[in-house]
Structure 1
Amino acid sequence: MREYLSLRLRKMAPLFLVPMLVEVVFLFFRMAKPKNETISAFHGIWYLAASAVLVFVTSYKIMQMYYVGSDRLIGILPFANEWLTLIEIAFYSLFTLLFGYLYHYINNYQENYHFAFADYTLQKLLSLLSFYLLLFMFCALFKNVRKAAVGKTLILLFTAAVIILEIVAFIKLNDGKFLHFFSGVSTPDVKMTYLNVLPFDFFGSKASSSTAFTNQSYLLNGGTIFFSLFLSLGLKRFASLSYVDLEG
């Protein structure tokens, strides 16, 4: 297992090292011109785009690994594919969290603002795990679909549908407690609320409401993690065949 972990780390490292190196470049720009609003705006746009690409690429890799079975080590190692996929999800979540740390450190460079990294860690980690495990659950649910293109389409559609339902339910539950909201990169003076993998800024809300939003996001994402993981591992008992088995 130690050799496997080392191999996976080396294989996925380039995916995260490239955006992290770009962040270092932005650090040099911020050091040279710390008050430049144009650099700050481009930095935010870059982080938003890079985060979206990372989520898309890692989601594709999870589907390829678990649903398609593209990793040759799956059939060699004496470990269940489910556990190997969960290890992959853990690595993706931790590396994405480190990328977020780097962005927020550079984004707040030379600013008179102390970023709450402890709160960010819990919210971001729960958001990533809730998304990846939800995706994993639908991979397990549709693993017996013979056509890979159809199966992957169903996985993505159902994952997106659940995320949309979670967001709609949250907004309906808190109707009247905020004026408007925005999904994207937060400014230092606005506290983000993660609804699954998406960060939201709720404007015009009271401090007590903001705290309630955060607590609700913990419950939402924590519940998604528990339900997805429980159902994913439970489905293994009722669906022993996989796409790979059917095709092979």
Structure 2
Amino acid sequence: MSAAVDNPFLLVERHGPVVLVRMNRPESRNALSEPQQMQEFVDLCHALRRDREAKVLVLTGNGSAFCAGGNVKDMQTRGGIFAGSPYEVRNSYRDGIQRIPLALYELDLPVIAAVNGPAIGAGLDLACMCDIRIAADKALFAESFVKLGIVPGDGGAWLLPRVIGLPKASLMAFTGDTIDAAKAEQWGLVAQVVPAAELEQEALALAQRIAANPAHALRLTKRLLREGQHMRLDSLLELSAAYQALAHHTEDHHESVNAFLEKRPARYTGK
């Protein structure tokens, strides 16, 4: 058995249709520094895309931080994923951390980030890869790459402006300054701030509210929201019509309508 299996970075728990995933390198504040960590994210997304029982993913971190970004010590020594020539470093990004936003972007399940502590650099961008963010009151956020003389290498320049708008994203990226949870909520970076002790409970409760809806409708809605970020309106309307035709011919749609008219809870089967 490999070391990666013995000591995985991602710990996965099932709560019915909700999948709770914890990043588990508290000693390094869940920094993203090893190729195997990136591979675990990719493998997780591929598995969940095929898992018809899963409806929502909740991502959080063990320890004091959500994710501290890249390993600064490796940057100093030009080791790990930062080793080699410029060409090799470029490929390390393309074959490593850049696979995470692509995998999460293609995942049809709604994803909630339960930001339990600092989300710095790539950690902030990881939170922005999720659909909804809930923060503990002690959480901190920074697009801090410029402070280290580098640029957002994992998609942050695309992700962050889509979450909080270009002016605020520019302010965070150009200064590298840290903002607290209250300002993150004010700026729309997070949907809700809760006491740290209640974060996981609140995130799971939200996930269960989402998971109470039909699986096919959730996955198709997630895809429409994603495609709508780069499509023209007329193209999105065509795609919406096609998805709606599929949705109208599912058993869960008919069950939803019947339950609504009969004033009773719906009983979904995923068909």
TM-score calculated relative to the size of structure 1: 0.30
Q: Which has the higher strand share?
A: 2
Q: Which has the higher contact order (CA 8 A, sep 6+)?
A: 1
